[in-house]
Structure 1
Amino acid sequence: MESSPDAGVTRRAVSPAESRRASRRWWDADADDYQAEHGSFLGDADFVWCPEGLREADAHLLGDVRGRRVLEIGCGAASCSRWLKTQGATVVAADLSAGMLRHAQAGATRSGVQIPLLQADASALPFADGAFDIVCTAFGAIPFVADSARVMREVYRVLRPGGRWAFSITHPMRWVFLDDPGEGGLVAVHSYFDRRAYVEQDEQSVPTYVEQHRTLGDRIRELVDAGFVLKDLIEPEWPKTHDQTWGQWSPLRGKIFPGTAIFVSTKPS
Structure 2
Amino acid sequence: MPEPPDRPAAVGVGRRHTSPAATVRANRGSWDADADNYHDEHGAFLGVADFVWCPENLREDDAHLLGDVTGKHVLEVGCGSAMCARWLAAHGAHPVAFDLSAGMLHHAIEGARRTGIEVPLLQADAQHLPLRDESFDIACTAFGAVSFVADSARLMREVARVLRPGGRWVFATTHPTRWSFPDDPGPAGLTATMSYWDTTPYVEFAADDTPTYVEHHRTLGERVREIDAAGLRLVDVVEPRWAPGHTQIWGQWSPLRGAILPGTAIYVCEK
TM-score when normalising by structure 2:
0.96
Q: Aligned letter for 2:18?
A: V
| Deviation of the 1:203 alpha carbon | 1.5
Counterpart of 2:205 in structure 1 is: 201
Counterpart of 1:249 in structure 2 is: 253
CA–CA separation in structure 1 for the residues paired with 2:244 and 2:91: 28
Counterpart of 1:77 in structure 2 is: 81
- Structure 2 residue 269 is matched with structure 1 residue 265: yes
CA–CA separation in structure 1 for the residues paired with 2:87 and 2:215: 27
Q: Pick from 42, 54, 57: which aligns with 2:58?
A: 54
Q: Pick from 133, 141, 146: which aligns with 1:142?
A: 146
| Deviation of the 1:84 alpha carbon | 0.2
Root mean square deviation, CA, Å = 0.9
CA–CA separation in structure 2 for the residues paired with 1:264 and 1:25: 30
Q: Pick from 182, 188, 194: which aligns with 2:192?
A: 188
Q: Pick from 218, 226, 230: which aligns with 1:226?
A: 230
Q: Is the 8 A contact 1:48 1:55 kept in 2?
A: yes
Q: Aligned letter for 1:93?
A: A
The count of residues paired between Structure 1 and Structure 2 equals 262
Counterpart of 1:214 in structure 2 is: 218
- Structure 2 residue 121 is matched with structure 1 residue 117: yes
Per-residue CA deviation, residues 115-162 of structure 1 (Å, 9 max, x unaligned), is 111101100001110010001000000011000000000000000000
CA–CA separation in structure 2 for the residues paired with 1:10 and 1:261: 24
CA–CA separation in structure 2 for the residues paired with 1:156 and 1:240: 36
- Structure 2 residue 17 is matched with structure 1 residue 13: yes
Point out 4+ residue stretches in structure 1 off by more than 3 angstroms: none
Counterpart of 2:162 in structure 1 is: 158
Q: Aligned letter for 1:170?
A: T
CA–CA separation in structure 1 for the residues paired with 2:264 and 2:11: 30
CA–CA separation in structure 2 for the residues paired with 1:9 and 1:56: 34
Aligned residues: percent identity? 65
Q: Is the 8 A contact 2:58 2:243 kept in 1?
A: no
CA–CA separation in structure 2 for the residues paired with 1:125 and 1:182: 39
CA–CA separation in structure 2 for the residues paired with 1:116 and 1:169: 24
Counterpart of 1:171 in structure 2 is: 175
Q: Pick from 97, 100, 122: which aligns with 1:96?
A: 100
Q: Is the 8 A contact 1:7 1:204 kept in 2?
A: no
